[in-house]
Amino acid sequence: MNPMILVMFAAAIGVLVWAFAGSRQPAEGDPATVNVKAQELAVGPWDRLVMPWLSRMGRIVGSRMPSGRIAAMRRRITLAGLQNTWNVEKAMAYKVLTMILGVLGAFAALQWQISKVSLLMAGASLAWGYFAVEFWLDKKAAARQLEIQQALPDVLDQITVCVEAGLGFDAAIHRCSQSNQNPLGDELGRTLQDIRLGVPRTQALHSLLDRTDIQELRLFVRALVQAERSGIPIARVLEVQADEVREKRRQAAEERAMKLPVLLIMPLVLCILPALFMVIMGPAALRMINEGAV
């Protein structure tokens, strides 16, 4: 294999690792007292030097992609909670970088030798380079949506208690967003910010649904909107929705528990039973071999 190809491939992997791990967020604080120079210096050299060039390439690639692919990429970014730090151009820039890595990996595999294994490795490298960004975003989005789904019953209970204690719905959302340091708390805080900026509550709640993909949350928002239109007390709706979400979480836990014996069959057959047979039948087999040898 050509040593230059290996060096280029290793350098490209190092650049990719630096890209994902080396970026730092700007310093937070009071907007009136934040030092602009400190904010600029807090941005890593990757974002200042390399990302503009990759973003330009990403714009070129994105302009030649179907609008459906662009919308799907934007949806992935939103579900992953990266809409404040990522955009489609940045995602396309990383996609260009992974595609370059995939091409280098495929070229390195074909330089080794032309065989079925090398062709398979080259194809896998090209596929990884093309789908790596989407796969990473989907994985991050799935983990974030799972956190939201797991936190939803407790947050609904908190909102119900706050409303029944006399707080308004907006004040209850504010209190829950402050006390829950998780993605659901962040989304509730953003929804409350939209309401305070003058967005109608119904529209702010629908925007919350656009940023998430949880069926229970969708049913909860629809019940709230319907209650607001019909004049039904929100406290009653919150109590009913909290009970339903809690019941669904219990049913999901029971479903996972019922699947556990089926999932344990393969490890039991492949790992535990052969060792058990060896322990039980091994001494008898050795004794039969020794007696036959005598």
In 3D, which of 188, 111, 114 has the Cα closest to residue 155?
A: 188
Q: What is the pLDDT of residue 96?
A: 83
Q: Token pair of 182, please?
A: 């998780």
Q: What is the pLDDT of residue 140?
A: 92
* Gap between the Cα atoms of 13 and 7, Å rounded: 10
Q: Token pair of 194, please?
A: 């939209």
* Residue 23 pLDDT greater than 50, yes or no: no
* Gap between the Cα atoms of 232 and 24, Å rounded: 47
Confidence of residue 36 (pLDDT cuts 50, 70, 90): low
Using one digit for the tens of pLDDT, what is the confidence trace for 44-74?
666 666 667 777 777 777 777 777 888 888 8
Q: What is the pLDDT of residue 31?
A: 43
Q: If DSSP codes are grouped into helix, strand and coil, which group holds residue 199?
A: coil
| 147-259: CATH class | mainly alpha
* In contact, 92 and 58? CB cutoff 8 Å: yes
* Gap between the Cα atoms of 227 and 204, Å rounded: 16
Domain ranges of the chain: 3-141, 147-259
* Residue 290 pLDDT greater than 70, yes or no: yes
Q: What is the pLDDT of residue 294?
A: 45
* Residue 28 pLDDT greater than 50, yes or no: no
224-231 long-range CB contacts below 8 Å, 24 or more apart? 228/201, 228/202
* Gap between the Cα atoms of 216 and 243, Å rounded: 11
